[in-house]
């Protein structure tokens, strides 16, 4: 016959249950919205790379100054530059990375997307 352990506090047991339910809800929400979230991350990083590349190589501005051209809500996008390749890479943490490369006479072009 199973009996409850009197040493386990009922308040702790309730907290544990609430945490498990919250973890399941968060994991389920992430799984449900994964495709749109990933799409927004790829689109945002592609936009950031292309805008920053054009701003930097055509406009002659620094990458930190080019961030002023970003749309609201793009605060998580980080930029890095490869001076040898004349390219700018924009990253959305853990989800997406896109690179735009400057080519004389053609401007800045995004690398091919890999789905």
Query: Which parts of the chain fold into alpha helices (H)?
Result: 10-32, 34-53, 63-66
pLDDT tens for each residue of 65-93: 999 999 998 999 999 999 999 999 999 99
Q: Give the up-direction half-sphere exposure of residue 91: CA atoms within 13 A in the CB hemisphere.
A: 6
CA distance 88 to 52: 7
Name which of 109, 110, 85, 82 is nearest 96 in CA terms.
110
What is the pTM (predicted TM-score) of this model? 0.73
Position 30 confidence tier, pLDDT thresholds 50, 70, 90: confident
């Amino acid at each position: 016959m199973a009996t409850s352990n009197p040493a386990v506090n009922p308040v702790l047991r309730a907290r544990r249950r609430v945490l498990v339910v919250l973890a399941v809800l968060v994991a389920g929400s992430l799984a449900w919205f994964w495709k749109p979230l990933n799409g927004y991350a790829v689109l945002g990083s592609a936009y950031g790379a292309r805008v920053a590349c054009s701003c930097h190589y055509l406009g002659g501005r620094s990458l930190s100054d080019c961030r002023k051209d970003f749309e609201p809500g793009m605060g998580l996008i980080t930029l890095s530059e490869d001076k040898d390749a004349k390219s700018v890479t924009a990253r959305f943490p853990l989800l997406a990375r896109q690179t735009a490369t400057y080519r004389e006479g053609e401007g800045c072009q995004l690398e091919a997307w890999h789905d």
